[in-house]
Amino acid sequence: MTRAERAFRVHVPATSANLGPGFDTLGIALAYGDELVVATRPEPGATVTVIGVGEGEVDTDERNLVVRSAAFVFERLGREMPGLNIEARNRIPHGRGMGSSGSAIVSGVMIAAGLLASDPENPLELSEAQIFAFATELEGHPDNVAPALFGGLTIAWTNEQGPRFKRLLVHRGVAPLVLVPTFTMSTEHARSLQPKQVPHEDAVFNVSRSALLIAALTQSPELLLEATEDRLHQNYRGAAMPETRDLIGALRERGHAAVVSGAGPSILVMSNGPAERLAAADLVAEIAPEWQILTLAVDIKGATVEEIPVDSAFSSRG
């Protein structure tokens, strides 16, 4: 081993975007994520070992989204990326609306940030704004990468300077529940189902509910059911995922604040306390037992990267 070899542990949480009315703007980080161990090597290129979700399915070389995202940062900065060995322990379901692609992108950007900051010859510390800008450019929109990077509830927008975000603390009474089906949904297909224009009254409706949702999530969780009403995107996508549409309808009829998680087909239920969340979970177990029920917390840390001893990087590999 050379002195230049380094190793890191990266953790990135799952996310749920939109949250009902906050299309392409609001997102929340969930305490359920992917963990990667990364070590540099003398040889160029990259080798990815995937354990868990995506094992045997995703690319395990330089075509892997994590590697491509890290390489993108190095290329933009005019730096040469070292060879990498990566072990990815994945938990975030793919194609289910829980931010798996955003998590992979954020993982790659965080790997690049760790490598650049620890470069023994020419260290470079990336700013929070730079990291966010790189991840947003790769993902195409900031609503998933903002909570993945920074945790909590995030409001994301763009201006002439680039992507911006505001992180807020979620009220401790908010109890998230994620319902994961066996089927998937393409984000591109989901977006294609939406019209380019919506009625004026629907736009006003969503503006009011988005504002109310911020209050509900940060101060008044008893308002979550009304605050998660939406007329902008969920109805248009319903025909493409009828199981999701019908389960959301059943939950909302019983007073539970259920929405499509991201582009779907998973469902996010934001309950006012553990008792209400348990009631929602019991209802799902009764009427849709094929759905996986994840009882989660809000992740308040966001993405993390820590340097670890090279010799112990893959000591847990079996």
176 is in an annotated binding site: no
Does the annotation list 103 as a binding residue? Answer: yes
CA–CA gap between residue 66 and residue 60 (Å, rounded): 10
Annotated binding-site residue? 94: yes
What is the three-state SS of 265-295?
CCEEEEEECHHHHHHHHHHHHHHCCCCEEEE
- Residue 193 CB partners (closer than 8 Å, separation 6+): 236, 237, 239, 240
For residue 173, say whether it is annotated as part of any ligand binding site.
Answer: no
| Polymer length of the chain | 318
b/e code 177-196 from CB counts within 10 Å (16+ = b)? bbbbbeeebebeebeeeeee
Is position 100 annotated in a ligand binding site? yes
Annotated ligand binding at 93? The verdict is: yes
Residue 108 marked as a ligand binder: no
Q: Within 13 Å, how many C-alpha atoms sit on residue 166's CB side?
A: 5
DSSP designation for 82: P
Determine if residue 89 is labeled as part of a ligand binding site: no
Is 101 annotated to bind ligand? yes
Alpha-carbon span 115 to 187, nearest angstrom:
31
Residues of the binding site: 93-103
Residues of the binding site for ATP: 93-103
